[in-house]
Amino acid sequence: MNNKLKIVIFTFTGIILHFCHLFSQGTGNLSSASGTIYNSGGTITIKGVAKIGQDTILGTVEYSSKANVQPIQSMVYENIRLVGTSEKFMADTVTHLVAMKKFYSDTNSVLIMNTKDTINVEGETHHNAVINPISPTGRVIMSGNVAQSVHGKGVFKEVELNDPSGTTVIKSGGFKISTVLELRQGQFRNSKDSNFVMDTSTHVIRHVGASISYQPVYLGKMNLTYTGTGSIVTGAEVPTDSTKIQRMIAQNTDSLVLSTNMTVNDSLINSTVIFTEPNDSNRNILTLTSTNDPIYLGKDAEVDGSVRRTNILTNNTPVLFNNKYTYALFSDPASAGQAKQIQFRIKQRTFPLFANGNQKVKRPFTITGYDASGQKLSDIAQMKVGYGWRNSSAVKNETNGLKIDVLKFQKWDSASALWSTIVSSTVPIVDTTNEWASANAVITKFGDYAIGLQTSQFIAMSGKVFLEGPFRDGGLMISTLRDNSLLPHTPPNVYPYNLDSNRLNINVVTFPDSVVDWVLLAFRQNLGDSTKDLFKTCFVKRDGTLIDLNGSTNLILGMINPDGTSSGIGSVNSGTHYIAVMHRNHLSIVTEDPYKLSYNDTTLALNFTNYNILLGRKSGNAIKQIGYDVNQKPLFGMIAGDVNQDGYIKYDDLGRIWNLLDFEGYVPEDINQSIFINTVDFNYSQNNLGKVSNFNPLPARKN
């Protein structure tokens, strides 16, 4: 036996020694007030009261009294076991109980803990007892520096994970937590087969840097708190059952990102930024089912993304949504009509994606209404909308340099592809303390909204064009570049796209469907003078349709604001223009006659596949027949092969293609846009050798 017992000034009554065991029998006491017990691996079984003077004891100490109450000394144990039918009582308010290797409690024990005492386990927790059955407190802390484990069928009051290496639930788990699970540090590794139960009205507190791997079994309602310094992405602590969460508090410093939908059924308290959308393909919703408004603490507190309220008031009381400035107000039930639920989607510091979005406040709104069956509504009888935006420092400012006192709430009309101003928009109020601006307006339709200058005059056009290179039999072009994620989100810094001075302000996050490539429209008042050209960058789709960056077939070329300023390619002096289409490896084409562009006109429609409207149709240098449609009617398109974009197809173009054979990527030498450069691309230029663009003199090239 390698176990030894050394007792210095040690008194005992009724003690039996067995080599590696020390027993305190009956109701006798074990006292070593000034002595030291050396126990390298044996077991000390205490059936009475222990008063151990040292602060740490190795081996195993077992408290096994069958009396009514047995005191438990708070100190550092290597292993501690609580067995027997007595009620175990921890009364020390200064020293905490620490189990360095193992804490064990059996099913017959009840452990009573002082409100200020804790059990700190640095190894295995095997818990079968009940802690503080009539008190809400009693904390067990997993506080080791190596991976720990926990199992058993007992009832914890409060459990705290504070181990960077985490704790694993083993042997099927089965224990219950009746008040608090605090995830302070590390991962709580539970699973479907080794899980635990959270009792009704429990509270999960998750700190930055901690997590849980699998959803616990929630028996009833629960509360959630996120805290700490940094950002948190929600995880398995969020119940899949939307009825469970009563209160959610977000108070961590950076942001809270929802990885799934979240429903809060009583109260939301937020002092950070909650992002409901981790990315464009994962748009989650934060739903509040009670009439309690969310509480936003601090000037930065808001929800970026979607907030849905399912219990709206119709008594002339504002119902808050994404921040303290955004609300919906119904004066009476009739004003709500069929609407039973309202949802706001707001994206901070983001331009609206529709035409002229970069001329608005950087905060788009999508307002959606639902009837009693959950169906979307298009109209609302009358709803007052409160809206706000950040009018603060350079980093968070969303006003975009616009004059605040003339800004209006505006609705996007998808049919006309234009913004319409809500005439009831109030003059914005600036909150200089919190660095916000806010106003309100009355709306009668759901949809997409923005904040901007009232716009009333537009120039718009639509068009169609084919490119010979990507054209294929059947009347469509290919969209291989987009499909393989090779299409640049900003037009490349090559001719002709770098003619557009607005190029660097273009950044398309998500391309519209079936986009083939970037094209540039040029507008010239005098065909022989390129110095005053105006430009519009857009896309061409597989069927030849020209579309704006947001997918609209209405290309907004310019607009005049109420303050007299103009934007886009247009100007106050509208007039006639020759209109050209330019592409990075096709000969530019231009209309034979000028077309009138004016504000408030209907959209000008031009079909560039019709050679009768193009300059050079008689010489064959305008467009060429490139195939047939499904009805075997001839189709015409822009001539392919002008690799260096000098307006001529010649041997230099052939040489560039030849020198880049077998290269892959988004380059002008890929004439047919297959991604791969081969002899097929060479043949396009060779077949069109000698062809010349009629859009001359060409503007000075910038690449």
Please, what is the Cα angle at 504 between 501 and 505, to 5 degrees?
A: 95
Whole-number pLDDT of residue 30: 63
Tell me: do 483 and 535 sit in the same domain. yes
Please report whether residue 209 resides in a domain. Answer: no
- Tell me the C-alpha to C-alpha distance, in Å, between residue 564 and each of 559, 571, 600, 602: 10, 10, 15, 21
* Contact call for residues 158 and 179 (beta carbons, < 8 A): yes
Whole-number pLDDT of residue 601: 56
Q: Check pLDDT > 70 for residue 269.
A: yes
Whole-number pLDDT of residue 16: 32
Q: Give the contacts of 162 (CB within 8 A, at least 6 positions apart).
A: 141, 142, 143, 184, 185, 186
Q: Check pLDDT > 70 for residue 7.
A: no
Looking up tokens 């950076």, which residue turns up? 254
Average pLDDT over every residue of 453-466:
80
Give the domain-ending residue among 419, 438, 455: 455
Tell me: do 576 and 544 sit in the same domain. yes
* Contact call for residues 24 and 15 (beta carbons, < 8 A): yes
Rounded-to-integer distance, Cα 573 and Cα 523, Å: 14
Rounded-to-integer distance, Cα 239 and Cα 174, Å: 18
Whole-number pLDDT of residue 567: 59
Phi, psi of 186 (to 5 degrees): 90, 180
Rounded-to-integer distance, Cα 613 and Cα 595, Å: 11
- Strands of 252-350, DSSP E: 255-257, 262-264, 267-270, 273-275, 285-288, 295-296, 302-309, 319-320, 327-329, 341-346
How many independent structural domains does the chain possess? 2
* Contact call for residues 637 and 643 (beta carbons, < 8 A): no
- Strands of 414-456, DSSP E: 418-421, 429-431, 436-445, 447-453
Q: Check pLDDT > 90 for residue 65.
A: no
Rounded-to-integer distance, Cα 314 and Cα 171, Å: 53
Tell me: do 420 and 475 sit in the same domain. no
Tell me: do 472 and 415 sit in the same domain. no
Average pLDDT over every residue of 361-388:
96
* Contact call for residues 377 and 334 (beta carbons, < 8 A): no
Q: Give the contacts of 448 (CB within 8 A, at least 6 positions apart).
A: 352, 354, 364, 365, 366, 411, 412
Any idea which of 199-203, 586-590, 620-624, 637-641 has the lowest mean pLDDT? 620-624
Radius of gyration of the chain (CA): 37
Tell me: do 443 and 549 sit in the same domain. no
Q: Check pLDDT > 80 for residue 701.
A: no
Whole-number pLDDT of residue 563: 52
Please report whether residue 337 resides in a domain. Answer: yes
Any idea which of 358-367, 421-430, 582-591, 593-602 has the lowest mean pLDDT? 593-602
Rounded-to-integer distance, Cα 381 and Cα 339, Å: 9
DSSP state of 426: P
Tell me: do 393 and 462 sit in the same domain. no
* Contact call for residues 53 and 23 (beta carbons, < 8 A): no
Q: Check pLDDT > 50 for residue 25.
A: no
Q: Report residue 234 as tokens.
A: 């929600």
* Contact call for residues 298 and 320 (beta carbons, < 8 A): no
Whole-number pLDDT of residue 208: 98
Helical (H) or strand (E) element with 687: helix 679-687
Average pLDDT over every residue of 272-300:
95
Please report whether residue 328 resides in a domain. Answer: yes
Whole-number pLDDT of residue 8: 31
Provide the mean pLDDT of the chain.
89
> Of 23, 296, 179, 270, which Cα lies nearest the Cα of 258?
270
Please report whether residue 543 resides in a domain. Answer: yes
Q: Tell me, yes or no, if the pTM score tops 0.85.
A: no
Whole-number pLDDT of residue 22: 46
Tell me: do 497 and 565 sit in the same domain. yes
Whole-number pLDDT of residue 474: 81
Q: Give the contacts of 612 (CB within 8 A, at least 6 positions apart).
A: none
Tell me: do 597 and 451 sit in the same domain. no
Q: Check pLDDT > 70 for residue 159.
A: yes
Any idea which of 32-41, 55-64, 151-160, 638-647 has the lowest mean pLDDT? 32-41
What is the distance of C-alpha 386 from the center of its chain?
24
Please report whether residue 147 resides in a domain. Answer: no
Please report whether residue 422 resides in a domain. Answer: yes
Whole-number pLDDT of residue 658: 95
Band of residue 33 on the pLDDT scale cut at 50, 70, 90: low
Band of residue 2 on the pLDDT scale cut at 50, 70, 90: very low
Beta bridge partners of 161: 142, 183
* Contact call for residues 477 and 672 (beta carbons, < 8 A): no
Q: Check pLDDT > 50 for residue 645.
A: yes
Q: Check pLDDT > 90 for residue 394.
A: no
Rounded-to-integer distance, Cα 402 and Cα 387, Å: 16
Q: Check pLDDT > 60 for residue 24.
A: no
Rounded-to-integer distance, Cα 370 and Cα 312, Å: 11
Q: Check pLDDT > 90 for residue 460.
A: no
Band of residue 6 on the pLDDT scale cut at 50, 70, 90: very low
Whole-number pLDDT of residue 395: 83
Average pLDDT over every residue of 547-562:
81
Please report whether residue 412 resides in a domain. Answer: yes
Give the domain-ending residue among 589, 622, 638: 638
Average pLDDT over every residue of 209-220:
98
Rounded-to-integer distance, Cα 638 and Cα 645, Å: 13
Tell me: do 440 and 488 sit in the same domain. no
Give the domain-ending residue among 455, 475, 492: 455
Please report whether residue 591 resides in a domain. Answer: yes
Tell me: do 449 and 479 sit in the same domain. no
Tell me: do 541 and 461 sit in the same domain. yes
Whole-number pLDDT of residue 564: 52
Q: Report residue 519 as tokens.
A: 């094209």
Domain span at residue 415?
312-455
Band of residue 10 on the pLDDT scale cut at 50, 70, 90: very low
Query: 414 or 194, which is more confident?
Result: 194
Tell me: do 327 and 430 sit in the same domain. yes
